[in-house]
Amino acid sequence: MSEAKIRIENLYKIFGPNPQSVLGDVQHGMSKQELLEKHSHVLGLKDININVPEREISVIMGLSGSGKSTLIRHINRLIEPTSGRIVIDDQDILGMSKDELIEFRRFRASMVFQKFGLHVHKTVASNVAYGLTIQGTPEAESKERSKKWLDRVGLSGFEDHYPSQLSGGMQQRVGLARALATDAQILLMDEAFSALDPLIRTDMQGVLLSLQEELHKTIVFITHDLDEALRIGDTIAILRDGAVIQQGTPQEIILHPVDDYIYDFIKDINRSRVIQTKSVMTPGEAVDSSLTLSHDLVLEEAIQLVTATESMQGNVVDENGEVIGSVSLEQIVDGIARPVAASGDDVQYR
């Protein structure tokens, strides 16, 4: 995993007329419901501690009201915290002056919204160039960069159209191109694909992953959809009532749900299409087999290959072809088996 680009430390957000007066109660364990009933304040975030790795996609997910959108808006200070720190490149952004914050939003962090956020009276090209105009980029360069990113997201030829002339998926491509055009290191994507139809949504996920392979941005992506999180996330943090319940790689969360709340999220996932051989292998141990399996091969494909060999096992190799372990049919089957309870060490499988 890369070094942390963003560190969120002991972050609290309480909505109400006097948040500081009830902060101590929350820090000592007062629940969201109790806070509302006793003090008429709303708990938005509770003791959030998350590291966002540089050049990776970090997904923050949860149900409606879990605090995920509140959290992402703290990263560029659209919302001010009640308590805590947000450190980006070793600088606490809560200590930024007004001018420093404006500079940060213009040059270092771009946001892609769920409802596209396009200017209806501007052309597609002008929408993409908007952030560049705010930066003070010369008009000729803005036009050139706008065209470049429209090409990259598959909208070449639509420069002179208006948002109302585009489909929802096309409008979101414009929003993504606008965010990329500023060359910001950080992309904040708040339910960016949630308003799209399923097929268009899947297509946009593919566009994002394709661009990320080349650009390696630090991306914080908000979603309520576990399938989306598993597809695009290098790491995932799951929130409930403003608190982080579990965070880790998609493999870790699927294989080791920490409680029944997380289990409810993952119980219907087709594990054979998500879990990879590296997650179930015996590390560092080669076996007598002519079969080699890629470390990122999903178990659905691995089981077909392993069962075709007499030894019912194979060696697992990394991206350089080096053996890093071995995997057997039994390990693959155990990996596919679904947990029926998620109570710590007492997890049962079927």
d(CA 345, CA 23): 34
- What does the alpha-carbon distance between residue 296 and residue 273 come to, in Å, rounded to a whole number? 11
Between CA 115 and CA 177 the distance in angstroms is 15
Task: Provide the pLDDT confidence category of residue 144 given band limits of 50, 70 and 90.
Answer: very high
Q: In this structure, which topology does domain 53-75+98-266 adopt according to CATH?
A: Rossmann fold (3.40.50)
94 vs 43: CA distance, rounded Å: 20
CA distance to 176, 183, 205, per residue, from 149 (Å): 9, 11, 17
Q: What is the pLDDT of residues 207-230, one digit of tens each?
A: 999 999 999 999 999 999 999 999
Which pTM does this prediction carry? 0.90
Task: Render pLDDT for 69-88 as a digit per residue (tens, 0 to 9).
Answer: 999 999 999 999 999 999 99
Of the listed ranges 113-127, 180-194, 220-234, the one predicted with least confidence: 113-127
| Rg, the chain, Cα only | 23
The half-sphere exposure of 183 on its side-chain side, counting CA atoms within 13 A, is 7
Q: Which CATH class is domain 271-336?
A: alpha beta
Q: Where are the domains of the chain?
A: 53-75+98-266, 271-336
Give the whole-angstrom CA distance, residue 174 versus residue 158: 10
pLDDT at 1: 60
- Read off the pLDDT of each residue in 141-153 and give the average, rounded to a whole number: 95
Backbone φ and ψ for 105, nearest 5 degrees, come out as: -70, -30
Task: Please provide the average confidence, as pLDDT, over all residues in the chain.
Answer: 93
The predicted pLDDT at position 235 comes to 97
What pLDDT score does 346 carry? 47
Query: What per-residue confidence (pLDDT) applies to 307?
Result: 92
